[in-house]
Amino acid sequence: DGGITQSPKYLFRKEGQNVTLSCEQNLNHDAMYWYRQDPGQGLRLIYYSQIVNDFQKGDIAEGYSVSREKKESFPLTVTSAQKNPTAFYLCASSHLGAEQYFGPGTRLTVT
Amino acid sequence: DAKTTQPNSMESNEEEPVHLPCNHSTISGTDYIHWYRQLPSQGPEYVIHGLTSNVNNRMASLAIAEDRKSSTLILHRATLRDAAVYYCILRFTTSGTYKYIFGTGTRLKVLA
């Protein structure tokens, strides 16, 4: 079954710890995206990648890092430098320029 | 970057048509208009997209103004399962890459 998966669904961390969110797709899409969503708000772009081994910063990249070593995988690391990391994180993929397919999201809580 | 403006919320009766408006007055000629919807605690789901002409699919219709400064998503017969936040998005190209700008969305409430 083709799709995009994110794990885990819920994640709890202590302040000052780095944490990595997983995103995997088997849709053979070239492009992958990470968004952040705060309660009652829309989605804001963190990072995106159009091709393996290349990625660009989105609108709110500070405190985050990514890698794209494989076409299927685009993990996001939330570093201790991110001031307000508690949020709902969404990963998406698409053929270049086409509609995006979203994963189920990871809800990160940092205390 | 071009932006979209949508009403915060709308209500509709079940089985009736729903027209969800979106303004994008700063849209450029190559920007596509996409619509997604999101249920609580889920990822957004693609609904429809278009460039200049009106578009229909099994989920909805998209009506695009002639000057492309606004568009309307039309759900022909609202059901309770259509209650969601609907996002009007511009897909634009920058330096050969594709980006999607999400607005704050319209929360649609469907009344039984």
- The answer to whether A92 contacts chain B (CB < 8 Å) is yes
For A21-45, what is each residue's pLDDT tens digit?
A: 999 999 999 999 999 999 888 899 9
Write out the residues of chain B at the interface with chain A, using a CB-CB cutoff of 8 A: 32, 34, 36, 41-46, 49, 87, 91, 93, 96-105
Q: Give yes or no for a contact between A47 and A31, defined as CB atoms under 8 angstroms apart.
A: no
Calpha distance A22→A67 (Å, rounded): 11
Q: What is the pLDDT along chain B (112 residues), one digit of tens a residue?
A: 558 999 999 999 999 999 999 999 989 888 999 999 999 889 999 999 999 999 999 999 999 999 999 999 999 999 999 999 999 999 988 877 888 888 889 999 999 9
